[in-house]
Chains A and B, each alone.
Chain A
Amino acid sequence: GENVEQHPSTLSVQEGDSAVIKCTYSDSASNYFPWYKQELGKRPQLIIDIRSNVGEKKDQRIAVTLNKTAKHFSLHITETQPEDSAVYFCAAAHILTGGGNKLTFGTGTQLKVEL
């Protein structure tokens, strides 16, 4: 089955700096890679996603890159702000034989943006 590894587990940056979170996946059939942000005690919310036919995607201060050959993808947050502080999860999904799909998450990164 799919195995998604995520690093680092905690990340502390100064406000205005950039933050980078990296993930690797094991199943070459995975073709959809979302990133979720989870604030304390709340449900995860999608912030950006990328599909396997794209190498990079950007949305304002957030960008994601994908290297299918190496099976890794990364989240980049620029000009970090205190409200970016949260736990971030990467995930990998693929279509299952017979229909349906499966979404496997990384272990999460606690990002803290300090003033």
Chain B
Amino acid sequence: SQTIHQWPATLVQPVGSPLSLECTVEGTSNPNLYWYRQAAGRGLQLLFYSVGIGQISSEVPQNLSASRPQDRQFILSSKKLLLSDSGFYLCAWMRGNTEAFFGQGTRLTVV
């Protein structure tokens, strides 16, 4: 069966520090991968999506970047975090137009 792993679950980082969140998928090949951010009490904002290795599409201009070094690995990064980067980050995978599965999420607090 397919599973999605996302870590860490919680993270507290100072302003100006770098960020690296990792997401891996098991049990499927060539998934579409997504990074979403959810601010407190708000909706799911699509940040990046990837349809294959090295292919990244950015949805909104921001302080973050994404990379897909392997078929089932998706990484969200920042060189210097801002206070406004705080939020709940969710990785998801989807294959074709079927159910999207989410990772457990990472609650990032930038202080």
A residues touching B (Cβ–Cβ < 8 Å)?
1, 6, 31-32, 34, 42-46, 49, 51, 89, 91, 93-96, 98-108, 110
23 A-B pairs with C-beta separation under 8 A: A32-B98, A43-B104, A43-B105, A44-B44, A44-B90, A44-B102, A51-B97, A89-B43, A91-B100, A96-B51, A100-B49, A102-B46, A102-B49, A103-B46, A103-B92, A104-B46, A105-B36, A106-B43, A107-B42, A107-B43, A108-B42, A108-B44, A110-B41
CB atoms of A34 and B90 under 8 A apart = no
Give 4 nearest A-B pairs by CB, closest first: A100-B51, A107-B43, A32-B97, A43-B102
- Given A32-B97, A44-B90, A105-B36, is A100 in contact with B52 using a C-beta cutoff of 8 Å? yes
Instruction: Please measure, in the bound complex, the distance between the C-alpha atom of A94 and the C-alpha atom of B45, giving whole angstroms.
Output: 17
Task: State the CA gap A108–B51 with chains docked (Å).
Answer: 26
Residues of B within 8 A of A (CB): 32, 34, 36, 41-46, 49-52, 59, 90, 92, 94, 96-100, 102-105
Asked whether B100 lies within 8 Å of A46 as measured between CB atoms, the reply is yes
Q: Are A101 and B97 in contact (CB under 8 A)?
A: yes
- A1 CA to B90 CA, complexed, in Å: 21
Known: A93-B94, A98-B51. A108 touches B34 (CB 8 A): no
B44 near A93: Cβ-Cβ < 8 Å: no
